Amino acid sequence: MSLNTAMVEKYRNNFLQEVAGNVEEGDWVKMCMQCGVCAGSCPLGNAWEHTPQKLFMMIRANKRDEVLTSDSMWMCTSCYNCIVRCPRELPITHIMHGLATYAKKLGLAPQSNPTQWFSETFWNNMMKKGRVNELKLGLSLYFKDGFVSGIKESIAHQKLGMNMMKAKRMAPMEIMGGHGVKDLSGLQKMIKKAQDIEAERLEANSK
């Protein structure tokens, strides 16, 4: 049984409880009084389908699929406008990221969403050497939508790249593989351990 199905089985009709038990800072959702300040304060709110306020109401209304497949939490820029103004001090930004992470773990995150894609690319890039290879990350972003648009993007951002090199923010030789952290395998082991603990926790929660 997949983790997703197990969770559905376990929390049948109580998505609020599922969020409280599994999502980072998720137990705060019940404190939302639906005042609308976060929705009105989110600089990107009008660009997405679900504002934080709406997501929190959907969670209470058991709209599990709509919430977990929503691309809205992936669009959060962590500007903290909502947290600063929320009269109930909900850690909204963290809940947004928590929801995104949880959806990803369940395999429900929207594959086509660019920030979701970028987060994954960023993570994989970082895990290879224990540090981000900015040159490769930048290039993979430019070439995301194919070769032709990649060349166009690169030309468009040529000046930025040159400036970054001048300021020693990017080294051209990094393309050869790039340098890593001192104890790469140690770091990878540590992260693997953390991931295992987290997976076990979710697994146990789903029982």
Partner 1 sequence: MTEVVATNQTILVVGAGISGITAAVEAAETGKNVVLVEKRAYMGGRISQLYKYFPKLCFPSCGLEINQRRLSAQGGITVLTMAEVSGVTGAEGDYTATVKISPRYVNENCTACGACADAVEAEFDNDHNYGMDKHKGAYLPYNMAKPERFVIDPRIIGTEDAEKAKAACKYDAIDLDMQEETVEFKAGAIIWATGWTPYDANKIQPYGYDRYDNVITSVEFERMMDKFGPTGGKILRPGDGKEAKDIAFIQCAGSRDRNHLKHCSRICCMASLKQSTYITEQYGAEDEDAKGTIYYIDIRSIDRFEDFYRKVQNDPKISFVKSKVANIIVDKENNPVVKGVDTEGYHRYETKHDLVVLAVGMEPNVTKESFPVEIAINEHGFIEADEANGGIFAAGCASDALDVNRAVQSATAAALRAVQVVNKVAGAEG
Q: Which listed residue (22, 51, 72, 206) binds partner 1 by CB under 8 A?
A: 51
The answer to the question of residue 79 lying near ligand SF4 (CB under 6 A) is yes
Give 8 or 76: the residue with its C-beta nearer to ligand SF4: 76
The answer to the question of residue 99 lying near ligand SF4 (CB under 6 A) is no
Amino acid at 24: E
Give 52 or 161: the residue with its C-beta nearer to partner 1: 52
The answer to the question of residue 59 lying near ligand SF4 (CB under 6 A) is no
Q: Which listed residue (7, 23, 37, 68) binds ligand SF4 by CB under 6 A?
A: 37
The answer to the question of residue 55 lying near partner 1 (CB under 8 A) is no
Give 77 or 163: the residue with its C-beta nearer to partner 1: 77
Contact 59, 15 (CB under 8 A): yes
Give 22 or 53: the residue with its C-beta nearer to partner 1: 53
Convert 186-203 into a string of H (helix), E (strand) and C (coil).
HHHHHHHHHHHHHHHHHH
User: Residue 47 Cβ, how far from partner 1 at the closest point, in Å?
Assistant: 11
**What is d(CA 177, CA 82) in angstroms, rounded to the nearest whole number?**
40
Q: Which residues contact 67 (CB under 8 A, 6 or more apart)?
A: 15, 50, 55, 58, 59, 99, 103
Site residues for partner 1 per CB under 8 A: 33-37, 39-41, 45-46, 51, 53-54, 84-85, 87-89
